[in-house]
Chain A
Amino acid sequence: MTRTTARLAAMFAAFSAVPALAGGITLDARVLRVETVAGTERLTPAAKAVPGDHMVYVLAYKNTGDQAARDVVLNNPVPADMLYRGAGDGGEPEMSVDGVQFGPLASLTVAGTDGSRRPARLTDVRQLRWHLNQAIAPGASGQVSFHAVVR
């Protein structure tokens, strides 16, 4: 995890050459647990999570600047120890099994144990990416979410 942080920092350094304008986007990540009580599902703060539990990750974004934000790309690796189970709010993300090639699940393959490639499954997905088509107006907000299960 330390290495990951270092890479992220390196990435930020690469971006710092770009002149920043006033304002920006804030991004808030939350994790909720799907709890079934008397047959109905409800979301509770992630607590008492054990292997096999169904969790929902919510990424809430808000444009706190005074200009519209465009070309918005949300990027989220599927956390270690979690298995991706599908998209929630905000539409289907692009998926990747290797962090290099992104696309719909049907376009992805993974190497099998014998070296041949097989179609990727949801559980193979390790990286998610949402392209927001609409510009985000100043003050506007929205969220995307995805479902995952604790290994």
Chain B
Amino acid sequence: MLRKLIKPLLLSGSALALAMPGIAHAAGTVAGTTVTNTATVNFSVGGTAQNAVSSNAANFLVDRKVNVTVSEVGGAATTVTFGSTNQVTTFAVTNNTNSVMDYRLFAIEQLALVSTIFGHQDNYTVSNIRVFVDSNGNGIYDAGVDTGTFVDELAPDASVAVFIVADIPATGPSNAVAGISLTAVAATGGTGGALGADTIASLLGDNPGAVDNVFADGAGAIDLVRDGRFSAFDEYVVGTAAVTAIKTATTIMDPVNGSLLPKAIPGATVEYCIQVANAGPGTAQDVVVEDAIPANSTYVPGSLYVGGSTLLGACVADGSFEDDDTSGADDADGTTGSFDNTKIHSLIAAVPALSTVTTRFRVTVN
């Protein structure tokens, strides 16, 4: 009899197993899901199997477990220069809540003398602080493109980059450091394009028919545990650039030996190379190299190359060709060069820390 009973049960069991959604997020079952349970009992009376009896459905509603993290991206301070604008620190905001959420964002500067995330001491303040959300998922601040100021409709387990954008005052102390924090405050999701109201924890008894809010976030840089928000630090460091220049001369050819072991005799061609090295830590910007053509030599027209590299201390025959005048496409970009009949002039927009950029030109010996 039992065997007979079990067979339909088994069939029903497999059907139930197949009907299971079984989709699990790290953030958990989506808030608002009703978890239902119905049991059945089979039995026999007087040796005769009876109709199976179902229980009532025991249900509960999954509430919202609000959990958010904010983390600094990059693991290093943003190195800036005095007077620069729209300098960016990057954070990641991750929605660990089991529902779609909005997040209200704000940035706060650290106070002076407070230790910063990368072990410095805050002694400086930046200005014009703004917060923008990465709109195209490239993790890089695109001015005019990343314009959203709050996190909109972030799915469970999803993460988005958020940028603090600030201007750096023109002057400040040496080794200027400005610590800054980003805080994300949980807000009600569900309406795209608009920031929902801040989420409020349901402190009173559970409302069985409604999705309650339970704060489950940790304590961030400047917020408390289970307060529906999370924060992290980043910092701006005003970098100084230690720029040095080296000039080398190489005889390329002479009229007697040609290019084989040339000597610097009259009529020989000599290449000068000026290496501008930046030992950091900041980026050297708008580096200008000017070099007068030596006496008893003549500039070779059209021989100026700017922005080249070095290999093992020697100049490499690369860089961007610059014609001798001061106009044209070659002078409209960040790397320009010209010759004014007495000296060459080059401008390099940026020499990053720990890099070397060259300016090369040739003369003939009179």
Contact = CB atoms under 8 A, between A and B. Distances in A.
Interface of A: 1, 3-4, 7-8, 11-12, 14-16, 18-21, 23-31, 33, 45-52, 55, 57, 59, 61, 65, 67-77, 79-82, 96, 98-100, 102, 126-127, 129, 136, 150-151
Contacts of A48: 63, 202, 206, 212, 214
Contacts of A77: 13, 16-17, 20, 37
Interface stretch (B3-11, B111-119, B324-332): B3-11
B51 A15 contact: yes
Interface residues of B, number: 64
10 contacts: A7-B12, A15-B50, A21-B46, A24-B50, A28-B55, A29-B55, A47-B205, A70-B43, A75-B40, A96-B17
A4 B37 CA distance: 12
A97 to B, nearest CB: 8
A67 B46 contact: yes
B65 interface: yes
Contact of B58 (A3, A19, A57): A57
B60 A50 contact: no
Contacts of B16: 4, 7, 77, 99, 126-127
Contact of A15 (B24, B35, B52, B56): B52
A55 to B, nearest CB: 7
A49 B58 contact: no
B43 A73 contact: yes
B45 A8 contact: no
B43 A72 contact: yes
Contacts of B19: 1, 3-4, 7, 80
B9 A75 contact: yes
B261 interface: no
Interface stretch (B26-34, B190-198, B230-238): B26-34
A71 B212 CA distance: 43
B208 interface: yes
Contacts of B53: 24-27
A21 B47 CA distance: 11
Contacts of A26: 53
Given A27-B53, A31-B58, A11 B8 contact: yes
